[in-house]
Structure 1
Amino acid sequence: MARLRVERVAEAIRSEVADILAREIKDPRLGFATVTDVEVSDDLRHVKIFVSVMGDKAQVDETMAALESATGFVRSEIGRRIRLRHTPEIVFRYDTSIKRGARVFELLKEIQSEKETGKEEEGRD
């Protein structure tokens, strides 16, 4: 039962933070940021917000710096929008899973093309 509440709170926070980043914060450095996941502690006092950023290392660094500076505002908005006994402390983390997934996909494509090339060469013999 308690875990279900934590999951519901995490989804509510994910939705609200995505809305806050898209509509409330006017910082252009946040243009390519997407909330990918939210982890909430069992006591609902700490939240890790995972963010994916499209762009190179410099853009990632700029976006993470913008998120760091907006943490207080985001936390206050969460407190205003979601009724919890305590507004959780939030931390933004860069989510590398999308880049890792893309790399795995590329490796799988390479393996597939190597297999196809090997079959073509066997057929010529």
Structure 2
Amino acid sequence: MRKRSIKNTRVNTEVQRELSDIIRNMKDPRVAPWTSVVAAEVAPDLKTCKAYISVLGGKKEQEDTIAGLTNGEGFIRRELARTLNMRNTPEIHFVLDQSIEYGVNMSRKIDEVTRNISTEGDADAE
């Protein structure tokens, strides 16, 4: 299976959706309640999967959530095998994704710059 084939895209989407459901229902106290699966990349041979995880919270919550997910990988993989009908259940590697946090930070900076420009423009008009 090629990396960008339609089948691989469907597998990635299905794994992402199921991982979101499994993580949402986990009872591990280390996993933050505002944890979401941003993307899942399953290898073409269906042996490994990179799950990009976004956590709303501070650095400590992010580290605890990744530790909790890594520790519960066997449970998550078993639940994934139970819900998905695949020949191989991929080994999951959790990666902290900070793109949402980066986007919010950049948006905040852009708003700050545009606010400064508009206040300087008002001062020049007088």
Provide TM-score, normalisation by structure 2. 0.91
Corresponding residue for residue 37 of structure 2: 35
For 1:114 and 1:69, the matched residues in 2 are separated by 47
**Aligned equivalents of 1:10, 1:120: Cα separation in 2:** 51
Alignment length (residue pairs) = 123
Q: CA deviation at 1:86?
A: 1.1
Deviation of the 1:123 alpha carbon: 0.2
Aligned match for 2:46, one of 30, 44, 47: 44
In 2, Cα distance between equivalents of 1:36 and 1:65: 18
**1:42-63: CA deviation from partner (whole Å, max 9, x where unpaired):** 2222111111111111111111
Which residue identity is paired with 1:97?
Answer: S
Query: What fraction of aligned residue pairs are identical, expressed as a percent?
Result: 33
| 1:79-121, Cα deviation, whole Å (9 max, x unpaired) | 1211111111110110100110011101110121121012101
Question: Which structure 2 segments of 5+ residues have no match?
Answer: none
Find the aligned partners of 2:109 and 2:34 in 1 and give their Cα distance. Answer: 26
1:109 to 108, 111, 114: 111
TM-score, L = length of structure 1? 0.91
- Residue type matched to 1:111 in 2? V
RMSD (CA atoms): 1.4
- The superposition leaves residues 19-56 of structure 1 with CA deviations (integer Å, 9 ceiling, x where unpaired) of 11112x21122222111111111222211111111111
Letter in 2 for 1:47: C
Q: 1:61 corresponds to which residue?
A: 63
Equivalent pair of 1:6/1:44 in contact (CA under 8 Å): no
Find the partner of 1:94 among 96, 103, 108: 96
**Aligned equivalents of 2:41, 2:114: Cα separation in 1:** 36
Alignment-mate amino acid for residue 35 of structure 1: V
Distance between the aligned counterparts of 2:57 and 2:109, measured in 1? 21
